[in-house]
């Protein structure tokens, strides 16, 4: 029987809860590993989505899971996000712990009504919670590489707060800045909710300057939320404006040169960082 656990270079690696340090794996492998462990541990956990079974998911996150756990616990659904999310909601309310896969996270908007008006509010309305996970891949471009769980770089002159694939852009920019004698700290948020507010505040209180970098569009984005929080809680430590480097308020373009222009990159980041350092 195929073992879906993390396999790199022919070797199978088994992560331990605290033993992950030093092991570099892809995000999708970490997700597969987590699914595997939870499905082994808890018979209530099951996966449902499009092509998650024999095919192993569009990005191979669920590869090998159906072979291991069977067709019911790794359930292929119709092309139907409302059925996937609605089915997960119903199953969660009846004692299961579903993990619903959106083949691309963009498709999640097809189930917006069920997520916002049902899953998110049911506990408030009726006292019955909906313990479920909805997951899917997101992010533009091909700049993203493997992530290490502790991507972080210390610095004294400014803080770059970011997450996801932009961590690599930030680290690259920080190396270039270092050659210019500018010491940039890179903070990888890793999760947006919960937001590690303490880490952001601690870093900005040390450096006095903050730049938020994200792939998401600008208006009403997480950058604005972080800027508002810093303004509320670190105002007296700030030595310059809080800057945002983000995508513009447009859809993601398809053509490669257009997408390159859409996404923040090292050059746009460097320009903003230098401006902030000079301030």
Partner 1 sequence: VPVVSGMLLADRMQGKHTVGMTYLGDGGTSVGAFHEGINFAAVQKLPLVLILEFNGRAYSTPYEKQCAARTLADKAVGYGIPGVVVDGNDALMVYEVARAAVDRARAGGGPTILECKTYRMKGHAEHDAQAYVDAEELAVWRARDPLARLEAALDASGAMPAAERRRVHDEIESRLDEDVAFAEASPFPDPALAFRGVYADEGILERGRAGVFTGGL
What 3-state DSSP class applies to 242?
A: coil
Q: How many other C-beta atoms are found inside a 10 Å radius of the C-beta of residue 227?
A: 18
Q: Under the criterion CB under 8 A, does residue 251 sit at the interface with partner 1?
A: no
Catalytic residue among 5, 68, 110, 148: 148
**Residue-wise burial string across 92-126, b where 16 or more C-beta atoms lie within 10 A, e elsewhere:** bbeebbbbbbbbeeebbebbeebbeebbeebeeee
Q: Is 148 a catalytic residue?
A: yes
Q: Which is nearer to partner 1, 36 or 46 (CB)?
A: 46
- C-alpha span between 20 and 17 (Å, rounded): 7
> Residues 127, 181, 251, 257: which binds partner 1 (CB under 8 A)?
127
Give the shortest CB-188-to-partner 1 separation in angstroms. Answer: 18
Among 92, 166, 171, 243, binds partner 1 (CB under 8 A): 92
Residue 212 engages partner 1 in binding (rule: CB under 8 A): no
Single out the residue of 55, 53, 76, 78 nearest to residue 66, CA to CA: 53
Q: Choose one: 22-30, 87-95, 138-146, 207-215; the region binding partner 1 (CB under 8 A).
A: 87-95
Burial class (CB in 10 A: 0-12, 13-18, 19+), 256: exposed
Closest CB to partner 1 among residues 88, 245: 88
- Candidate residues 9, 10, 95, 251; the one interacting with partner 1 per rule CB under 8 A: 95
**Residue 182 near residue 157 (C-beta atoms within 8 A):** yes
CB-CB neighbours of 41 under 10 Å: 9
Q: Convert residues 59-78 into a mask of x (bound to partner 1 by CB under 8 A) and - (unbound).
A: -------------xx-x-xx
Chain residues that interact with partner 1, rule: CB under 8 A: 46, 72-73, 75, 77-78, 80-83, 85-96, 98, 113-114, 118, 123-124, 127, 129, 194-195, 197, 229, 232-233
| Residues annotated catalytic, as ranges | 148
């Amino acid at each position: 029987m195929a073992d879906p656990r993390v396999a790199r270079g022919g070797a199978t690696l088994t992560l331990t809860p605290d033993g992950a340090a030093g092991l570099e794996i892809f995000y999708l492998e970490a997700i597969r590993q987590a699914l595997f462990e939870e499905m082994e541990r808890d018979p209530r956990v099951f996966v449902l989505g499009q092509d998650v079974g024999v095919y192993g998911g569009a990005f191979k996150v669920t590869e090998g899971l159906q072979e291991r756990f069977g067709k019911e616990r790794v359930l292929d659904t119709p092309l139907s996000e409302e059925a996937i999310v609605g089915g997960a909601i119903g199953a969660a309310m009846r004692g299961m712990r579903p993990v619903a896969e959106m083949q691309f996270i963009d498709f999640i908007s097809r189930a917006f009504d069920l997520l916002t008006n049902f899953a998110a509010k049911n506990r408030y309305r009726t006292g019955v919670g909906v313990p479920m996970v909805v997951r899917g891949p997101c992010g533009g471009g091909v700049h993203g590489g493997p992530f290490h769980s502790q991507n972080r770089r210390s610095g004294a002159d400014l803080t770059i707060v970011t997450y996801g694939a932009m961590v690599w852009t930030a680290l690259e920019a920080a190396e270039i800045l270092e050659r210019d004698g500018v010491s940039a700290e890179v903070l990888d948020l890793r999760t947006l909710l919960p937001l590690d507010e303490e880490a952001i505040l601690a870093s900005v209180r040390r450096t006095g300057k903050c730049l938020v970098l994200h792939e998401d569009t600008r208006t009403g984005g997480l950058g604005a939320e972080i800027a508002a929080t810093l303004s509320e809680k670190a105002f007296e430590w700030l030595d310059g404006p809080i800057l945002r480097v983000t995508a513009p308020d447009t859809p993601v373009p398809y053509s490669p040169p257009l997408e390159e222009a859409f996404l923040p990159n090292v050059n746009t980041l460097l320009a903003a960082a230098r401006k902030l350092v000079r301030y």
